Every structure is written in C-alpha cells, then in structure tokens.
C-alpha cells in the first residue's frame, strides 16, 4: 500500500482538495486499492470540517467531502507515509524545522511556487486553486506510479 499524505495549514481547503483529487485520479486508473491517501494540517482546529467552498468545488469529481474532519499532523502520520506533499513552501519549511524532515523524492512541495491558500476567498478562487492542484497531481501521481512500478 502506497501512503500519500498532503499537508497544508488548516486541513480545510488545499490538502483536502489534493486528497480527494488524488483519490479520483488513482480510482480512474484502477489503482485505488494500491493507495492510502490522507491529508492533515500544521495548525488545525480539530473541530473544523472542510470549508464550504472546498465542498462545493470538489463536487465536480463526484466526491463528497462534507464529512471531512480537519486533523493535525502527527509523528504517526509522518512515519506511516511513503510520500509527504506540502501544499506550499512555508508548510515544507515547517516540516523540515519542526519534524526534522529533509526534502527528498518522497518529501516535497506540490510545485516550485506552491499553492496559495484560498481560505476565506470566493468560490472562483477555490476553483482556480482546485485546478492548479489537479494540474500538479496529474504530474505527481504518474511519477509515483512509475517509481513504485504499479
């Protein structure tokens, strides 16, 4: 089982989108049974759910994220993950400084620039964020599949 962990700030927007878009990609490839895909945040209110706009923009993938509960990053999540994908450079820096992780082929930022946090923005901004995440994952997921020889 290949375990991928997406990490953002609050686990209500970007990492949630990345989790469910990735699940959609691997499902379309017939490989969902080979993956365990999760998300978390570095400064989380554990009582929060996915933001309303996240719920709305993910519906395009026939995914329901309304029951998603935000969760904090833990040592166990880190240790249990084969790949850790930060949603921006600040989150990656946090992972390096607070958890001693080194950037490598399996610990990386989703893109060179990262994905800006859409929290509190309009649904249009969430759609742009979703599309940017999807474009990045359409590159990352096939690389993981190739590397893992699936």
Q: What is the pLDDT of residues 9-53, one digit of tens each?
A: 999 999 999 999 999 999 999 999 999 999 999 999 888 999 999
> Does any domain span residue 53?
yes
What is the model's pLDDT at position 103?
84
> Does any domain span residue 150?
no
Strand ranges of the sheet holding 107-109, from the earlier edge strand across to the other edge: 35-41, 2-8, 83-86, 107-109
> Does any domain span residue 148?
no
> Does any domain span residue 129?
yes
Structural domain boundaries, residue 77: 2-142
Q: What is the pLDDT of residues 61-114, one digit of tens each?
A: 999 999 999 999 999 999 999 999 999 999 999 999 999 988 888 999 999 999
Q: Which residues of 14-32 are buried (b: 16+ CB within 10 A; e: fewer)?
A: bbbbbbbbbbbbbeeeeee
CATH number of the domain residue 19 falls in: 3.40.50.2300
Query: How many domains does one find in the chain?
Result: 1
In which region does residue 43 sit, left (phi positive, over 0), alpha (psi from -120 to 50) or beta (all else)? beta
Query: What end-to-end distance do the CA atoms of the chain give, in Å?
Result: 11
> Does any domain span residue 147?
no
> Does any domain span residue 95?
yes
């Amino acid at each position: 089982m290949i375990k991928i962990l997406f990490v953002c700030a609050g686990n209500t927007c970007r990492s949630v989108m990345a989790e469910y878009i990735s699940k959609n990609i691997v499902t379309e490839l017939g490989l969902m049974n080979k993956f365990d895909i999760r998300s978390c945040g570095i400064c989380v209110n554990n009582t929060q759910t996915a933001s309303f706009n996240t719920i709305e923009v993910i519906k395009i993938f026939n995914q329901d994220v309304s029951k998603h509960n935000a969760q904090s990053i833990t040592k166990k999540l880190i240790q249990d993950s084969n790949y850790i994908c930060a949603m921006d450079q600040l989150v990656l820096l946090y992972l390096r400084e607070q958890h001693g992780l080194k950037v490598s082929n399996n610990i990386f930022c989703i893109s060179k620039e990262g994905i800006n946090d859409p929290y509190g923005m309009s649904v249009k901004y969430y759609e742009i964020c979703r599309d940017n995440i999807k474009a990045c994952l359409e590159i990352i997921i096939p690389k993981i599949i190739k590397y893992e020889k699936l």
